[in-house]
Protein backbone atom coordinates (compact mmCIF):
# COMPACT_ATOMS: atom_id res chain seq x y z
CA UNK A 1 0.00 0.00 0.00
CA UNK A 2 3.09 2.23 0.23
CA UNK A 3 6.13 2.28 -2.00
CA UNK A 4 9.34 4.17 -1.38
CA UNK A 5 12.54 3.94 -3.42
CA UNK A 6 15.72 4.52 -1.45
CA UNK A 7 19.42 3.80 -1.85
CA UNK A 8 19.56 1.46 1.17
CA UNK A 9 17.09 -0.47 3.29
CA UNK A 10 17.35 1.43 6.55
CA UNK A 11 15.37 1.94 9.74
CA UNK A 12 14.93 5.61 8.81
CA UNK A 13 13.33 4.73 5.46
CA UNK A 14 11.05 2.12 7.03
CA UNK A 15 9.91 4.63 9.65
CA UNK A 16 9.16 7.22 6.96
CA UNK A 17 7.22 4.68 4.89
CA UNK A 18 5.30 3.59 8.00
CA UNK A 19 4.41 7.18 8.85
CA UNK A 20 3.21 7.73 5.27
CA UNK A 21 1.14 4.53 5.42
CA UNK A 22 -0.49 5.51 8.74
CA UNK A 23 -1.30 9.00 7.47
CA UNK A 24 -2.98 7.58 4.34
CA UNK A 25 -4.68 4.45 5.68
CA UNK A 26 -4.78 4.71 9.46
CA UNK A 27 -3.03 2.58 12.07
CA UNK A 28 -3.00 -1.16 11.32
CA UNK A 29 -3.30 -3.89 13.95
CA UNK A 30 -0.11 -5.60 12.73
CA UNK A 31 2.62 -5.59 10.09
CA UNK A 32 3.75 -8.88 8.54
CA UNK A 33 7.36 -8.88 7.35
CA UNK A 34 10.43 -10.93 6.64
CA UNK A 35 13.29 -11.25 9.14
CA UNK A 36 15.38 -8.34 7.86
CA UNK A 37 17.62 -6.82 10.52
CA UNK A 38 15.43 -3.69 10.61
CA UNK A 39 12.60 -5.84 11.99
CA UNK A 40 14.33 -8.51 14.05
CA UNK A 41 17.63 -8.93 15.90
CA UNK A 42 19.24 -11.82 14.06
CA UNK A 43 21.95 -12.72 16.58
CA UNK A 44 21.97 -16.30 17.84
CA UNK A 45 21.94 -15.30 21.53
CA UNK A 46 20.80 -11.78 22.49
CA UNK A 47 22.67 -10.22 25.41
CA UNK A 48 19.78 -9.71 27.82
CA UNK A 49 16.05 -10.34 27.83
CA UNK A 50 13.79 -9.62 24.89
CA UNK A 51 15.68 -7.10 22.79
CA UNK A 52 14.04 -5.35 19.87
CA UNK A 53 15.17 -3.12 17.05
CA UNK A 54 14.45 0.61 16.96
CA UNK A 55 11.75 -0.02 14.37
CA UNK A 56 10.24 -2.78 16.53
CA UNK A 57 10.26 -0.45 19.53
CA UNK A 58 8.52 2.29 17.52
CA UNK A 59 5.79 -0.14 16.45
CA UNK A 60 5.45 -1.34 20.05
CA UNK A 61 4.95 2.27 21.20
CA UNK A 62 2.23 2.65 18.54
CA UNK A 63 0.63 -0.63 19.70
CA UNK A 64 1.21 -2.25 16.28
CA UNK A 65 2.20 -5.92 16.33
CA UNK A 66 5.20 -6.94 14.23
CA UNK A 67 4.91 -10.48 12.85
CA UNK A 68 8.02 -11.90 11.17
CA UNK A 69 7.51 -14.66 8.60
CA UNK A 70 9.18 -17.95 9.48
CA UNK A 71 9.34 -19.30 5.93
CA UNK A 72 9.87 -18.14 2.38
CA UNK A 73 6.45 -19.63 1.58
CA UNK A 74 4.84 -17.20 4.01
CA UNK A 75 6.55 -14.30 2.25
CA UNK A 76 5.22 -15.57 -1.08
CA UNK A 77 1.71 -15.70 0.37
CA UNK A 78 2.00 -12.05 1.39
CA UNK A 79 3.18 -11.12 -2.10
CA UNK A 80 0.29 -12.96 -3.73
CA UNK A 81 -2.29 -11.53 -1.32
CA UNK A 82 -1.10 -7.96 -1.96
CA UNK A 83 -0.31 -8.53 -5.65
CA UNK A 84 3.30 -7.34 -5.18
CA UNK A 85 6.77 -8.56 -6.05
CA UNK A 86 8.77 -7.44 -3.03
CA UNK A 87 12.45 -8.09 -3.61
CA UNK A 88 11.93 -9.18 -7.23
CA UNK A 89 10.54 -5.82 -8.34
CA UNK A 90 13.80 -4.66 -9.94
CA UNK A 91 14.16 -7.95 -11.84
CA UNK A 92 10.60 -7.59 -13.12
CA UNK A 93 11.21 -3.98 -14.12
CA UNK A 94 14.21 -5.06 -16.21
CA UNK A 95 11.93 -7.29 -18.30
Write down the pLDDT at residue 6.
Answer: 83
Write down the pLDDT at residue 77.
Answer: 62
Write down the pLDDT at residue 80.
Answer: 65
Write down the pLDDT at residue 7.
Answer: 85
Taking only the tens place, the pLDDT of each residue in 41-85 is 767 665 666 677 888 888 889 999 888 777 665 556 666 666 665
Write down the pLDDT at residue 79.
Answer: 65
Contact 66, 39 (CB under 8 A): yes
Write down the pLDDT at residue 86.
Answer: 57
Those residues with Cβ within 8 angstroms of residue 55's Cβ, 6 or more apart along the chain or in another chain: 11, 14, 15, 18, 38, 39, 66
Amino acid sequence: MTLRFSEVESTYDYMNATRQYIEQHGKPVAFYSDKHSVFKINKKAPLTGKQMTEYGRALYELNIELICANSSQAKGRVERANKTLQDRLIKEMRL
